Amino acid sequence: MRRLTAAAAGTMLLLLALAVAAAPRAGAAPVSQAQFTVVGSGPIVWHQVAVRAKPNERAKRLAVLKEFREGFRPQYVLALSQVTDPKTGKATWYRVSVPGRPNGRTGWVRAASVHITPMNKRLFIDRRTRRFQFWHGNRLVRSGRVAVGKPGAETPTGLFYVQSKFVPNTAILGAYAFETSAYSKLTDWPGGGIVGVHGTPWPHLLGQAVSHGCIRLHNEDVRFLRARVPLGMPIKIVG
């Protein structure tokens, strides 16, 4: 009986240890929320392309996207779903996230007009817990605190993506910056309105709702992400 009791106690302790190890860390996002899939992303290869309401050339035109943005920067798109040719299995249309106001617009573009490749990296941001998670496939690579938009200038929620990346020439953006496809009421971004993910000279404000809509990271975190975050990478903001 003593041996059985000791064995049972050992089993219970082992199960308890496994449960503790498997439990999500404080402030961590549920994996089901942080893990999401997209078809891929890539640049526009035509001079310009019409974004249609349906995967049909005669459908209503919702927007026009050009091959290059200001400064001859390539225009990237995020493909959310696709229509394929039943004979060849190749994509004929992609449903893409349309950057700009209002947030959340989607539409269809010809597959030939873009060069879409798979994307298995993603950034997950939770406004409620004020934390970020950077995922590569099913692996959580890095996480940390963020500052988000204050009341009246809230960081928008939804699925967005990285449009450009650069070393800022203004101290308020910290060590590095990623421009997203999201828009807020007012941000500190050059030209205003665009939601950026960037560093900060004020790390003591991380964990608070103090920005004009942008997402501030510790400079160490944004430096870590600098070479690991590609253009077109999806960013999901919840909370």
pLDDT of residue 35: 79
Task: Give the predicted TM-score (pTM) of the model.
Answer: 0.84
Catalytic residues: 198, 214
Question: How large is the average pLDDT for residues 120-127?
Answer: 97
Domain 40-113, CATH 2.30.30.40 — does that match? yes
Q: Which residue has the higher pLDDT, 208 or 20?
A: 208
pLDDT of residue 98: 94
The answer on pLDDT for 87 being more than 70 is: yes
The answer on pLDDT for 125 being more than 70 is: yes
- Please give the full DSSP string across the chain, using - where no structure is assigned: -HHHHHHHHHHHHHHHHHHHHHSPPTTPPPHHHH----SEEEEB-SSEEEEESSSSTTSPEEEEEESEEGGGEE-EEEEEEEEE-TTT--EEEEEEEPPSSSTT-EEEEEGGGB--B---EEEEEETTTTEEEEEETTEEEEEEEEEEEPTTSPPPPEEEEEEEEE--SSGGGTT-EEEEEEE-SS-SSTTSSEEEEE--S-GGGTTSEEESS-EEE-HHHHHHHHTTPPTT-EEEEE-
The domain locations on the chain are: 40-113, 121-238
pLDDT in tens, 160-174: 999 999 999 989 999
May I ask the CATH class of domain 121-238? mainly beta
pLDDT of residue 186: 60
pLDDT of residue 5: 47
